[in-house]
Amino acid sequence: MTHIVIATRESRLALWQAEHVRHLLQERGHTVDLLGLTTTGDQILDRTLSKVGGKGLFVKELEAALEDGRADIAVHSLKDVPMDLPPGFELACVLEREDPRDAFVSPHHASLDALPEGAVVGTSSLRRTVLLRALRPDLRIEPLRGNLDTRLRKLDDGQYAAIVLAAAGLKRLGMEARIRQCFDARTMLPAAGQGALGIEIRSGRPELTAALAPLAHQPTWLATAAERAVSRAMGGSCSMPLAAHARSIDGGLHLAAAWGEVEQAAPLLHAQAEAAVGDLAQADALGTRVAASLQAQGAR
């Protein structure tokens, strides 16, 4: 490959991610252009993703650009990528992960524990909702949609006492100073794939696969594959209050997952397992085993 076109969403964070991949490819001798697109997920801001079609709303327009030849690759936040891609598409590369943790952001309060009783916290993530309720059942969790800048503006306008965002996005945009607290990933388990970038292509493009191979980070790819396998086994939808996070241990991975009930007060369900993981099939097997443990406890 000598010329590659990247399809990307047009939010500031998505463009940073695409520019990052462009720089990596240019370092390896390719010429690279960006094709900016507005997705359905970017346009619908008055309803939660779980009610309007899920995370696939952020990738469908990018996949259309791949299919009709306007673009060669699409750069995604991996946590926004559906667990099963449409026929004819594949995940060709996963880059080294940034910080996978959630970040507590507030103009007036130093931490979640410092919030007064009944304070309003913004998030539209069902995962974050159930985990926050487990930590602070007295808080009011209210919906929050929009790109990163929109969410921060709503916080600064006083609509929320605090909001919870992915630490990776804030760090990538040089906004780490907005983080008041990074949650411990063992108590506030991240979403599957959080902090990692994935590159999607049309199947049957060996020249693209070869061009992207040097960008891949195998430890991240295996860890996120195990996390995504949990989600896939549970149904693979963003309407699930599910967390899954894998970390490297000697000779393999430790994978932890949690499941909660959004509509009723119920204890979180937890599952974890360790295994030697050297390829994607072994990562998938580990994730499937952890999902089965959640299901055996009653997770739906």
pLDDT at 116 over 50: yes
Question: Which stretches within the chain are classed as H helix?
Answer: 12-27, 40-43, 49-52, 60-67, 126-135, 148-156, 167-172, 206-212, 218-234, 280-296
**Residue 145, pLDDT score:** 84
* Crossing angle for the helix pair 280-296 and 218-234, to the nearest 10 degrees: 40
Using pLDDT thresholds of 50, 70 and 90, give the confidence band for residue 146.
confident
Phi, psi (deg, nearest 5) at residue 43: -85, -30
What pLDDT, on the 0 to 100 scale, is given for residue 39? 64
Minimum mean pLDDT range among 9-23, 34-48, 208-222, 274-288: 34-48
Establish how many alpha carbons lie within 13 A of residue 154's alpha carbon, considering only the half-sphere containing its beta carbon: 21
Mean pLDDT of 153-181: 97
Per-residue pLDDT tens for 35-60?
Answer: 999 765 454 444 454 544 455 556 88
Determine the average pLDDT of the residues in 236-251: 86
The residues annotated with a catalytic role in the active site are 80
- Residue 288 corresponds to which tokens in the numbers above? 């499937």
> What confidence score (pLDDT) does residue 174 get?
96
Model confidence at 236: pLDDT above 80: no
Distance of CA 233 to the CA centre of its chain: 17
Q: What is the dihedral of CA 16, 20, 21, 27, to 10 degrees?
A: 150
Q: Tell me the mean pLDDT in the region 239-258.
A: 93
> Mean pLDDT across the chain, nearest whole number?
91
pLDDT at position 263: 81
Instruction: For residue 233, name the pLDDT band (cuts at 50, 70, 90).
Output: very high
Separation CA 13–CA 218 (nearest Å): 24
Is pLDDT above 50 for 205? Answer: yes
pLDDT in tens, 168-183: 999 999 999 999 999 9
What domains are there in the chain, each with its CATH number?
1-96+196-216 (3.40.190.10), 102-182 (3.40.190.10), 217-300 (3.30.160.40)
Mean pLDDT confidence for 151-178: 97
Cα gap 296→293, rounded to integer Å: 5
Q: What percent of the chain has pLDDT over 90?
A: 82
Evaluate if residue 73 carries a pLDDT over 50.
yes
pTM for the complete prediction?
Answer: 0.90
